Amino acid sequence: MKFLLLYNPMSGRISFKRNLDKVIKIFDESIHDLDIYESKAPKDLEREAELQASKYDVFLVAGGDGTINEVVNGMMKSDMKPILGVLPGGTANDIAAILGIGKSIKKSLKMFFESDPVAIDVNQINDQYFVYTASAGILSKISYDVSRRHINKYGYLAYVIAAMKDLTLDYRVPIKITTEQYCSECECVMILGLSTNRVGGMRLRNFSNAKLNDGLFELRFFKRAKGMWKFRFLSSLIRGGKRLGEDLHLVSDHFIIETGSEVRWNADGEFSTKGNVEIKTYQEAIMVFASKKTIKKYL
C-alpha cells in the first residue's frame, strides 16, 4: 500500500521529527511505500489532504486531535478517501485513545500493515467536519485557548490549570434545540456532544453507550436550572458524566441549535464557529485502523 505521512511539527511537547528516521526504517523493511509531508501553516494539512486524497491508500497522521481534524476535513472534501491511520503526538490524544492506538510507533504500524480497516462516522458543525466531540460553554475553550508556551512547559497540567480558572466564571448559554422529534428552549452552562465516552483526556463512562458507526450523535445540555450549578456540574463529571435529573440528553443525526452570537463552539479540541449551529452525522463516512478492543467496544 502507498502511505502518506502527514504531521504537524508543532503538535505536542516533543516534535514528531525525532521519530521520522524510525518510521522510515520500518517502511524500508516492509512492502509498503511512504511519502512524507510536514505542515507549514494552520490548515495546511487540510488543503494537502484534499489535494492528495486520490493518490494514496492510507493517510498516516502524526499529531494531536487538531492535526487529525485538519486531515479529516480535507478528506471529507474529496470524492476519494484514503484509510486513516493515527500516530498520537499531541497532548490529550483523545482520537488515538478512542481508536486504541498506543504510543509505540512500531506496534501501531504493525497493526496498520496487518489489520483490516473499519468504517466510522464523521460529524459536521456548520461548515466544519469533526470526529468525536463538539461543545460550547464552560471548559469548552480550554483546549484551544492555552498557549503553546504553557503546553510545552506543563503538558496536560496546563489544561488543568486553565480549567480551574474557567470554573470561576459565570456561564449562561441560552439555547433553542430542534431535532426531528424534539424542540425546547433552556439556559445551559455547557453543551457537550460526544461520539464515544472520552473527551479532554477523561473517560466519561456514564455519559452514554454511543457507537462510532451508528450514524448518531449524542448531545448533553447541562442546564442552569437551580442553585449551586457548579457543584452539580462537577459532580456529574466526577461520576463519569452521569446525567443529572434536570439535564437534557438527546440522540439524533441532525440538530439545529440557536444561541447567542457570542457563544463559541469547539470541535475536536479546536475553535470551530460562533452562534447558531447545525450539527449533522454522516454514517460510516471514512475508514480507519482501530484496535480489536475498540472494534469490540465502539463498533
Q: CATH number of the domain that 277 lies in?
A: 2.60.200.40
> Looking at the structure, do residues 153 and 65 belong to the same domain, yes or no?
no
- The stretch 124-151 carries a mean pLDDT of 91
Q: Dig out the grid coordinates for 113 from the structure.
A: 500493515
Judge whether residue 28 has pLDDT over 90. yes
Beta bridge partners of 216: none
| pLDDT reported for residue 151 | 75
pLDDT in tens, 148-172: 777 777 777 888 888 889 888 889 9
Q: Which of 139-143, 157-161, 263-267 has the lowest mean pLDDT?
A: 157-161
Least confident of 9-23, 62-76, 158-172, 175-189: 9-23
144 pLDDT tier (thresholds 50, 70, 90): confident
Q: How many domains does the chain have?
A: 2
Verdict on whether the full-model pTM lies above 0.85: yes
Do 224 and 134 fall into the same domain? Answer: yes
Domain that holds residue 191: 128-283
Residue 160 shares a structural domain with residue 34? no
The fraction of the chain above a pLDDT of 90, given in percent, is 77
The position carrying cell 456540574 is 233
- Amino acid identity, residue 150? H
Is residue 193 one of the residues assigned to a domain? yes
* pLDDT of 14 over the 80 cut: no
- Asked if pLDDT for residue 13 goes beyond 60, the answer is no
Length of the chain as a residue count: 299
Tell me, what's the pLDDT at 230? 87
> In this structure, is residue 72 part of a structural domain?
yes
pLDDT at residue 58 above 80?
A: yes
Is there a single domain that holds both residue 182 and residue 110? no
CA distance 263 to 190: 11
- Residue 132: all three cell numbers together: 468525536
Identify whether the C-beta of residue 269 lies closer than 8 Å to the C-beta of residue 240.
Answer: no
User: Higher-confidence residue: 101 or 167?
Assistant: 101
Q: Is the pLDDT of residue 54 over 90?
A: yes
Task: Give the pLDDT score at 125.
Answer: 98
Quickly state the pLDDT bin for 99 (edges 50, 70, 90): very high
Q: What is the mean pLDDT of the segment spanning 19-41?
A: 96
DSSP letter (8 states) at residue 74: H
Instruction: Assess contact for 274 and 151: CB atoms under 8 A.
Output: no
What's the average model confidence in pLDDT over 30-40? 96
Q: Do residue 102 and residue 133 come from a single domain?
A: no
Q: Which residue has the higher pLDDT, 245 or 2?
A: 2
Q: Which of 50-64, 221-235, 247-261 has the lowest mean pLDDT?
A: 221-235
Considering the domain architecture, whether residues 73 and 182 belong to the same structural domain is answered as: no
293 falls within a domain:
no
Do 252 and 173 share a structural domain? yes
Both 139 and 262 in a single domain?
yes
Residue 78 included in any domain: yes
pLDDT of the residue at 168: 87
Residues 191 and 65 in one domain: no
- Please state at what angle helix 65-76 crosses helix 44-52, rounded to 10 degrees: 40
Answer whether 199's CB lies under 8 Å from 131's CB: no
213 lies in a domain?
yes
Same domain, 107 and 223: no
Distance of CA 76 to CAs 58, 67, 70, 117, Å? 14, 15, 10, 17
